């Protein structure tokens, strides 16, 4: 005799008894009625010779027709040779994993993964683009569900703000994040490849020149006025001029890196382009600027020398360039390095001293293997001459005499 199907009225009117009992709907679907009145939908089936019971949900949260659809879905899984209970657990695991692996979580993981292999300034730039351009629209979305349309909508926001170059750079970073997810088995594709042509044409890049030797005195005088740049920014520009340090190495400095007695600045490896520790001698003009600055930002060894209210806690990447433009100099802060290199070579200082000061990589592998000195004493003399020469230009005086070791070299040549 065939089983009779249940009806909504019969399900609603099922009364509790002293012991649990079931009402059958056919195909393994049953309504289990408990003594305290609760009613639960269950699907009973056999798999691998063993009887199992799959819980669907409680009534009336799950109504009869919905329970039947769930039964049919699980029986189809059974017909495909799978255990419905195991299949449901795997599906829930996939959903939970997809929900946990949001674009924001993956982006943070990628940033940390890349951090040891790139310069601090590059990490800072990447983190800023992720935070400002990508996370507002994509951060909470499962990375596997983001397609080209969603990514493009995030990039369009930056374009509408006039940040066309930032949008293009953010697309490249997004591509690396999606690629990282794919490589680690947690992504479905790389939509960043599909949106490149949809972005606004690459904007024309404005290349600013380097500060010239004739502008050094004018710039120092402009910094002395205190107009157009805060003292922290002014000090950063002075220290970059006096040391030739790269922008990224300089801005994130902490006070513990400054050795007052030896007039020495030690930049840790993680904040240098070459990922190697670098020592820079500090001329007396640099020490004077730092002592004044210490009264403003010196809050302990771990505090930042060039502190600011930015998220990072120190001056942002474009701050120095913007300050120079505001002061009337259409140049880049990085151009200080070109100026310093040119002037030191013209003065006759040895290339080994200049290149070590600039922290350039020596391409001569034999010399690298045998040369153990960093020429610190010679560089200290050289950089003091340079700082004195800068202030001589400001005062419109004759440049200071060259150190004796340079004069001797010129005579020998």
Structural domain range at position 372: 213-412
Cα–Cα distance measured from residue 124 to residue 71, given in angstroms and rounded to the nearest whole number = 53
What would the two tokens of residue 238 be? 């002075």
Listed in sequence order, the residues at least 6 apart from 163 whose beta carbon sits closer than 8 Å to its beta carbon are 133
Domain total for the chain?
Answer: 3
* pTM of the shown model: 0.59
Cα–Cα distance measured from residue 155 to residue 20, given in angstroms and rounded to the nearest whole number = 59
Domain assignment present for 207: no
CATH code of the domain containing 127: 1.10.150.130
Q: Same domain, yes or no, for 242 and 386?
A: yes
Q: Is 54 in a helix, a strand, or coil?
A: strand
- CB-based contact 178:187 (threshold 8 Å): yes
Q: Same domain, yes or no, for 377 and 304?
A: yes
Per-residue model confidence as pLDDT tens digits over 46-89: 888 888 888 888 899 999 999 999 999 988 888 888 888 888 87
Specify the residue for token string 């400002």: 132
Listed in sequence order, the residues at least 6 apart from 83 whose beta carbon sits closer than 8 Å to its beta carbon are 47, 48, 52
Domain termination residue (choose one: 140, 167, 198): 198
* Residue (of 165, 161, 116) closest to 136 by Cα position: 161
Cα–Cα distance measured from residue 200 to residue 159, given in angstroms and rounded to the nearest whole number = 8
Q: Is 154 in a helix, a strand, or coil?
A: helix
* Alpha-carbon separation of residue 356 from 182, 258, 307, 372 (angstroms): 41, 19, 28, 12
Domain assignment present for 19: yes
The secondary structure of the chain in percent helix, strand, coil, rounded to multiples of 5, reads 55, 10, 35
Q: Same domain, yes or no, for 262 and 388?
A: yes
Q: Same domain, yes or no, for 370 and 283?
A: yes
Per-residue model confidence as pLDDT tens digits over 312-369: 899 988 899 999 999 989 888 888 999 999 999 999 998 889 999 998 865 555 444 4
Cis, bond preceding 46 (omega within 30 deg of 0)? no
Question: For 362, how many CA atoms within 13 A lie in the half-sphere containing its CB?
Answer: 18
Cα–Cα distance measured from residue 198 to residue 195, given in angstroms and rounded to the nearest whole number = 5
* Residue (of 116, 97, 110, 125) closest to 174 by Cα position: 110
Domain termination residue (choose one: 95, 114, 129): 95
CATH code of the domain containing 316: 1.10.443.10
Tens-of-pLDDT digits for all 413 residues of the chain?
A: 345 588 989 999 999 999 999 999 988 999 999 999 999 999 999 888 888 888 888 899 999 999 999 999 988 888 888 888 888 877 776 665 655 588 999 999 999 999 888 877 788 889 989 999 999 999 988 888 888 889 999 999 988 888 888 888 999 999 999 999 888 887 778 888 888 888 877 655 555 578 899 999 999 999 998 888 899 999 999 999 999 999 889 999 999 999 999 999 999 988 888 788 999 999 999 999 999 999 999 999 999 999 998 888 999 888 999 999 999 898 888 889 999 999 999 999 988 899 999 988 655 554 444 455 788 999 999 999 999 999 999 999 999 998 887 655 554 45
Ramachandran assignment for 140, one of left (phi > 0), alpha (psi -120 to 50 degrees), beta (any other): alpha
């Amino acid at each position: 005799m065939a089983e009779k199907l249940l009806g909504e009225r019969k399900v609603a009117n099922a009364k509790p008894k002293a012991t649990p009992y079931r009402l059958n709907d056919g195909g393994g679907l049953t309504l289990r009625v408990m003594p305290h009145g609760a009613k639960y939908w269950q699907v009973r089936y056999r798999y691998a010779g063993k009887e199992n019971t799959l819980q669907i949900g409680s009534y009336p949260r799950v109504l009869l027709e919905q329970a039947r659809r769930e039964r049919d879905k699980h029986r189809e899984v059974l017909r495909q040779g799978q255990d419905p209970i195991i299949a449901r657990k795997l599906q829930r695991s996939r959903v939970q994993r997809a929900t946990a692996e949001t674009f924001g979580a993956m982006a943070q993981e990628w940033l940390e993964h890349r951090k040891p292999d790139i310069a601090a300034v590059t990490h800072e730039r990447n983190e800023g683009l992720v935070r400002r351009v990508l996370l507002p629209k994509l951060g909470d979305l499962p990375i596997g569900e983001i397609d080209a349309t969603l990514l493009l909508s995030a990039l369009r926001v930056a374009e509408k703000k006039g940040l066309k170059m930032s949008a293009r750079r953010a697309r490249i970073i997004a591509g690396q994040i999606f690629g990282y997810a794919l490589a680690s088995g947690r992504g479905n594709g790389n939509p960043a490849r599909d949106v490149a042509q949809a972005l606004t044409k690459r904007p024309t890049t404005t290349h600013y020149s380097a500060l010239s030797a004739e502008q050094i005195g004018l710039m120092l005088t402009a910094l002395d006025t205190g107009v157009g740049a805060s003292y922290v920014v002014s000090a950063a520009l002075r220290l970059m001029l006096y040391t030739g340090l790269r922008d990224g190495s300089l801005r994130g400095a902490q006070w513990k890196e400054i050795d007052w007695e030896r007039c020495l600045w030690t930049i840790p490896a993680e904040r240098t382009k070459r990922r190697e520790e670098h020592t820079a001698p500090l001329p007396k003009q640099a020490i004077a600027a730092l002592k004044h600055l210490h009264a403003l930002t010196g809050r302990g060894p771990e505090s930042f020398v060039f502190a600011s209210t930015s998220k990072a806690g120190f001056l942002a990447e474009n701050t120095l360039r913007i300050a120079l433009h505001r002061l009337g100099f259409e140049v880049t802060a990085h151009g200080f390095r070109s100026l310093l290199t040119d002037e030191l070579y013209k003065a006759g200082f040895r290339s080994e001293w200049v290149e070590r000061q600039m922290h350039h990589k020596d391409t001569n592998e034999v010399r690298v293997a045998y040369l153990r000195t960093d020429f610190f004493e010679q560089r200290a003399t050289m950089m003091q001459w340079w700082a004195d020469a800068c202030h001589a230009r400001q005062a419109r005086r004759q440049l200071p005499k060259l150190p004796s070791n340079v004069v001797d070299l010129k005579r020998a040549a």
